[in-house]
Structure 1
Amino acid sequence: MPSAPATPKTATAAPGRKKAPAKAAIKAGTKGLASPEPAAPAPEAVLTLSSKNYSSWSLRGYLLCRLAGLAFTEARVSADDPAIRAELLLQSSSFLVPRLDHEGLRIWDTLAIAEYLHEWKPEAGLLPRDRAARAHCRSISGEMHSGFANLRSALPMNIKAHHPGFKVWAGAQGDILRIVAIWTECLSTYGGPYLFGSAPTMADAMYAPVCLRFTTYDVPLDPQSRAYCATMLALPAMQDWMAAAREEPEEMEELDVEF
């Protein structure tokens, strides 16, 4: 005899347990529920700069930040204002500009900023990937940082000026020859158009003001060095800097330090 079909059983809650209510969609902002807090703003970087027409070190720091892809605001200081000079001396004990404030850290000295940005974003390529090329890049960057005093004093940076046929004295000429030798070695070794290949690095930022000096004082260069200067001056960051420099006041009292 066939068995009767089983009657479906109705589920019952276990003793002492309440049946869970059906899930319902909960809209954000419903009364009784706290609205989600807005996301905290990204840490803001501030780059303290001096004159864009005269300050080669400010340009180097600016280029390093742009090449690293760091979003930053500028804090401009006028180096010929005694009150601002005093304030800047308090901010940086040896009157070093640029200065980078980022994520609660304060970094001054251009090479320190370069190394910090490389650690912050190594994929930006401020230093080459190859170990030997990195050592070379650091070496020529350090040479620019600590050397070429004759060039600095004889050919001060002045983007708005142009001196065709400028007479370069012997001491500065020695610095020019050394810089051209550095460029020639790098461009020949790494293939250009930048000093370490297809993209600009820390070294290009360090030597960028030299390209401007060579242009201002009409320094004769070989074709390879002229092409390198043209490549550097065409960088969007350089174009932005030069445009801002041309908008600065015509005169600024010179400081007794090279900046």
Structure 2
Amino acid sequence: MAYANISLFSTFVTILLVAISIDSASSAGNFYQNVDVTWGDGRGKIVNNGQLLTLSLDKTSGSGFQSKREYLFGKIDMQLKLVPGNSAGTVTTYYLSSPKVATHDEIDLEFLGNVTGQPYTLHTNIFTQGKGEREQQFRLWFDPTADFHTYSILWNPRSIIISVDGTPIRVFKNMKGVPYPNNQPMRVYGSLWDAQDWATQGGRVKTDWSNAPFIATFKNFNADACVWAKGRSSCRGSTRTAPWMNQQLDATSQRRLRWVQKNYMIYNYCTDYQRFPQGLPKECTVSKF
């Protein structure tokens, strides 16, 4: 009888573990569990049982969302498919930001739309203690409207690394004398909005509202990160020892970064001497790696 009870108990545990495993797999990247649609009056929608999030923009309004949780360091991945066709004047964003105060931190990816057949511009910026002016802009080496691509922000105490489909495009290092975002938790945000005054060719090309509504799609949100709650960061177990916690670029990644910056970077604040007549920012004068 004892053996029978043990057998029944083992079977129950096995079934329970399988159920937990299935539940965990089904919740991975589930937008219902991970984000709140925060504005847009219904233009932002979570669909496909939480697997997709769509943002839309019409002449009245755009839309946006934010993560339910705040994070202090982590690796944040999101797959995006951008507005197709004539997207001039539109901006799709995916970024991290601390509370909106004078000394806020922010890590920006902004996708500036363009006229049909012309490439998007990926605009990046990093704010520390309320100060930005660290823009780098890129063309992408693929059509970001034809399929989903993975955009990643790795943020640890040593570096910020922005990657596209695993290829690093930008690094911002924590170095002495340069402000670095290392003590303010940030949420993940996404939005789609009208920026025709500046987004496309400096605002020369306006939004063609006959193409509205414009729609961008997000999926596979993943935050392997330290969660901030009740005034403290919870880095436990595998998170504390996660590869991203101390990750830097290896030799292969450095070569890929140089390839992107040589062939696809179209603006770099670190080479804009006219903008900084008194001298380039300190982080521009030391090693990128």
TM-score by length of 2: 0.24
> Could you say which structure has the higher strand fraction?
2
TM-score by length of 1: 0.26
Choose 1 or 2 for highest CA Rg: 1
Higher relative contact order (CA 8 A, sep 6+): 2
